[in-house]
Amino acid sequence: MPLTATLERVEIELGDRSYPILIGDDLLDDAAHYDALPSAAGALIVSNTTVAPLYAQRLRAVLQQRYRTVHLLELPDGEVYKDWTTLNLIFDALLGHGCDRKTVLFALGGGVVGDMTGFAAASYMRGVPFVQVPTTLLAQVDSSVGGKTAINHPLGKNMIGAFYQPQLVLCDLGTLKTLPPRELSAGLSEVIKYGPIYDMAFFDWIEAHMDALVARDGAALAHAVKRSCEIKAEVVGQDEREAGLRAILNFGHTFGHAIESGLGYGEWLHGEAVGCGMVMAAQLSQRLGGVDAAFVARLTRLIERAGLPVVGPALGTERYLELMRVDKKSEGGEIRFVVLDGPGSAVMRAAPEALVREVLSRCCQA
């Protein structure tokens, strides 16, 4: 298929680890997009049992023009499989096929496939190149960009991983057509996130185009993906390893991770937990004086319009607090939150426990 007019390019500027994000329709099949990749004898496509039947053969066909051998590995689908046992299937495949240290890995799927393939690429023979081909909205706007890779541990989400940048991110908007509605909503959660933490003009745009986004209007999705990637690129370019600024991208994630972990991974989608977590983080921000009640209501309404939950599950306040204490942002036992210090601006800080308890009791089912 020829290039369409919608091809967009966003650069992640990280010195010798810089790479482009390409965004457009049916990019998957265009061999030209792969031209700049390092040469190698072989490639391994890592996907899952849901996505592989839809897109793996198309990707394989185009990669076979470039690599002598192209293997495919289908992982089981779901956050619950984002663990060592599943990760090891990637190492088994790489070693079983005799893949050398130049082998290129392609992550074809959502955030779970991307995070695990990225960590496998970071660790196999201490590092092989990899490419992100995200097929969910969430992965296209967030998880495939910026080099965070990880697996979960029973005691915490994304606790074992690496900062490891891909060579290329290919966001094929065509793949969003097959996304289940619940996954689309989960992706919109991370799109919405960029507004309150960084760009109120984008927030206004999302409000104006939420109906179009939910209806999968191509132009609306293209803009949402592009602007999200631009913001992520700006933030990651300034703080690759999350020494400071980058942490704002975790708005809603401290509460969200507690929900995911407390219910058991996979019960709520990551984006759903983050959507609800942003409501809680906004409530906390209001109590800390960063935003007013009208803004919290406006954000809550937008999250709801995206089809996302805005009330947390009844885990109990003590359990929430316990789960949040193992968050990676915690230091010396103190839970730290990303909160808004104004519309379009976020900071990380500790919050008085009494306020956190108030937020939990207000925002969660009894």
Closest by CA position to 271, among listed 192, 215, 336, 153: 192
Q: Annotation-wise, does 289 bind a ligand? A: no
Closest by CA position to 163, among listed 123, 107, 104, 207: 123
Of residues 3 through 42, those in contact with its own copies by CB under 8 A are 41
Give the number of C-alpha atoms closer than 13 A to the C-alpha of residue 262, restricted to the C-beta side: 24
Is 148 one of the annotated active-site residues of the chain? yes
Does 337 engage in binding with its own copies (CB under 8 A)? no
> At closest approach, how far in Å is the CB of 341 from its own copies?
23
Structural tokens at position 82: 């984002």
Does 331 engage in binding with its own copies (CB under 8 A)? yes
Q: How many whole angstroms separate alpha carbon 266 and alpha carbon 356? A: 25
Of residues 277 through 306, those in contact with its own copies by CB under 8 A are none
Q: How many whole angstroms separate alpha carbon 226 and alpha carbon 24? A: 9
Selected from 160, 212, 245, 310, the binder of its own copies by CB under 8 A is 160
Helical axes 181-198 vs 270-287, angle rounded to 10°: 30
Q: Annotation-wise, does 131 bind a ligand? A: no
Spatial neighbors of 257 by CB under 8 A, at least 6 apart, are 156, 157, 273, 277, 323, 324, 327
> At closest approach, how far in Å is the CB of 223 from its own copies?
31
Annotated catalytic residue: which of 190, 240, 260, 272?
190
Which residue, 83 or 207, is less far from its own copies as judged by CB? 83
Annotated catalytic residue: which of 48, 152, 158, 250?
250
Which residue, 241 or 349, is less far from its own copies as judged by CB? 241
Closest by CA position to 306, among listed 248, 355, 254, 252: 252
Structural tokens at position 35: 């031209």
Q: How many whole angstroms separate alpha carbon 196 and alpha carbon 193? A: 6
Q: How many whole angstroms separate alpha carbon 258 and alpha carbon 325? A: 9
What's the one-letter identity of residue 272? Answer: E
Of residues 167 through 186, those in contact with its own copies by CB under 8 A are none
Which residue, 54 or 162, is less far from its own copies as judged by CB? 162
Q: Annotation-wise, does 33 bind a ligand? A: no
> At closest approach, how far in Å is the CB of 147 from its own copies?
9
Annotated catalytic residue: which of 33, 226, 227, 270?
270
Annotated catalytic residue: which of 33, 148, 329, 336?
148
Spatial neighbors of 93 by CB under 8 A, at least 6 apart, are 44, 71, 73, 99
Q: Annotation-wise, does 353 bind a ligand? A: no
Is 232 one of the annotated active-site residues of the chain? yes
Closest by CA position to 226, among listed 153, 234, 214, 290: 234
**Rounded (5°) CA angle 140-167-71:** 85
Which residue, 50 or 158, is less far from its own copies as judged by CB? 158
The stretch near its own copies (CB under 8 A) out of 197-205, 263-271, 281-289, 326-334 is 326-334
Of residues 111 through 150, those in contact with its own copies by CB under 8 A are 122-127, 148-150
Of residues 211 through 250, those in contact with its own copies by CB under 8 A are 241
Instruction: Give the β-pairing of 8-12 and 345-350.
Output: unpaired
Does 345 engage in binding with its own copies (CB under 8 A)? no
In the shown chain, the binding pattern of residues 76 to 105 toward its own copies, with x for contact by CB under 8 A and - for none, equals --------x---x--xx--xx-x-xxx---
Q: Annotation-wise, does 317 bind a ligand? A: no
Which residue, 298 or 319, is less far from its own copies as judged by CB? 319
Annotated catalytic residue: which of 33, 193, 226, 246?
246
Query: Which residue is listed with tokens 């996907």?
Result: 47
Annotated catalytic residue: which of 74, 242, 260, 272?
242
> At closest approach, how far in Å is the CB of 124 from its own copies?
7
Structural tokens at position 141: 């706007």
Burial class for 365, CB neighbours closer than 10 Å (0-12, 13-18, 19+): exposed
Q: Which residues are annotated as a binding site for Zn(2+)?
A: 190, 253, 270
> So which residues are the catalytic ones?
126, 148, 190, 232, 242, 246, 250, 253, 257, 270
Q: Which residues are annotated as a binding site for NAD(+)?
A: 77-82, 111-115, 135-136, 148, 157, 175-178
Q: Which residues are annotated as a binding site?
A: 77-82, 111-115, 135-136, 148, 157, 175-178, 190, 253, 270
